[in-house]
A and B are shown apart, each in its own frame.
Chain A
Amino acid sequence: AQSVSQHNHHVILSEAASLELGCNYSYGGTVNLFWYVQYPGQHLQLLLKYFSGDPLVKGIKGFEAEFIKSKFSFNLRKPSVQWSDTAEYFCAVIRNSGNTPLVFGKGTRLSVIA
């Protein structure tokens, strides 16, 4: 079965520190990849997505992610985090065939301290 693994359950960083959140998926076929953010008390927002082409994807709020096909990975990065980046981050994968649902990772909680 298709699965998505997020390695870090809770990450605590100081403001201006660099961020990298890991995401690996198990499906071997063609996939679309996503990162979503959920701020406290709010619904999911799309940060960025990868469908094809350049494996380095830039999203909103200074986030980027790199698709490494050989490693089945899609890690999220940000050079310098801010306190407002405190949120839950979810990696998600869609198998690129038919009208299939997103499969989510367990999420990583990011806490940014001043």
Chain B
Amino acid sequence: GAVVSQHPSRVICKSGTSVKIECRSLDFQATTMFWYRQFPKQSLMLMATSNEGSKATYEQGVEKDKFLINHASLTLSTLTVTSAHPEDSSFYICSARLGVTKNTEAFFGQGTRLTVV
């Protein structure tokens, strides 16, 4: 099946620094990727929809200047957490669907656990 790869799987950074998370579709092209955030013992909350070659669409309450998304190619989307603070510590997961047609499932990356100290 289709594979979505996320890197890094874990990162620890100091407060005030920026962290970049990569999401790659390994065997298919993804014009759209989705970024989720999962707090401990909670569900996945959609943060933004990443569109290749255009601006990302952010969900209400998500700061676009803090969570920078770049989708420069059909196989790569990046999420940069800028000026990270301890409250940004969370599990970030990317996802991509196989296409825009009906009945296509989503595939998920392994997730990135971010700890800001």
Contact = CB atoms under 8 A, between A and B. Distances in A.
Interface stretch (B67-75, B82-90, B98-106): B98-106
A104 B100 contact: no
Given A43-B108, A101-B34, A52 B103 contact: yes
A12 interface: no
Contacts of A102: 34, 44, 95, 106
Given A101-B95, A104-B43, A109-B41, A32 B31 contact: no
Most chain A C-beta atoms within 10 Å of own C-beta, residue among B32, B93, B105: B105
Interface residues of A, number: 24
**Interface magnitude class on chain B:** 20 to 34
Contacts of A56: none
Interface in A40-58: 43-44, 46, 49, 51-52
B115 interface: no
Contacts of A101: 34, 46, 49, 95, 106
Nearest to B103: A51
B102 A103 contact: no
Contacts of A34: 105-106
B54 interface: no
Contacts of A103: 46
B103 A99 contact: no
Given A101-B34, A102-B95, A49 B42 contact: no
A2 to B, nearest CB: 11
Interface in B28-50: 31-32, 34, 36, 41-46, 49
Interface stretch (A16-24, A63-71, A90-98): A90-98
Interface string A7-47: 00000000000000000000000101010000000011010
B93 A44 contact: yes
A34 B105 CA distance: 9
Nearest to A102: B106
A90 B34 contact: no
B103 A106 contact: no
Given A43-B93, A98-B100, A107 B105 contact: no
Interface of A: 30, 32, 34, 43-44, 46, 49, 51-52, 88, 90, 94, 96-99, 101-107, 109
